[in-house]
Amino acid sequence: MNSHKRIDYLTRDGVMRLLSDDEAASVSNAESAAHLDEGDEYLDLEHLDEGVRKADSLIIDMGRVLPRKAIHQITWSKILAVVGGAPNRDAAP
């Protein structure tokens, strides 16, 4: 299955299943945060096809964000193996 098809099948629920209990709690705490710091990497769980994004000064809907800093590196790597690993520097959040 090619990368685009994998992304089509990957859902927010599927990504969340890759997280440990501690990581899921950390992500829940991150969702209640007011914002990400500028330059923080994250995935928009409703737009996984856009890959890794970097926070800037624009407002981000924290309810659909998976911040890199909220999970362990090994889990982040597993997720990126499915959704793609390069930051999408051209996309606006």
pLDDT digits (tens, 9 = 90+) for 7-62: 555 566 778 788 888 888 777 666 656 678 889 999 988 888 888 999 887 777 77
Overall pTM > 0.85? no
Predicted local distance difference test score (pLDDT) of residue 61:
73
Question: In one letter, which amino acid is 29?
Answer: N
- CA-wise closest residue to 12 among 24, 26, 4: 24
74, part of any domain: yes
Count how many domains the chain has.
1
Question: From the centroid of its chain, how far is CA 16?
Answer: 10
pLDDT tens, position by position, 23-36: 887 776 666 566 78
> Assign residue 66 a region: left if phi > 0, alpha if psi is -120 to 50, beta otherwise?
beta
45, part of any domain: yes
90, part of any domain: no
Show the domain range for 19: 3-83
- Measured distance CA(7)–CA(47) in Å, rounded: 9
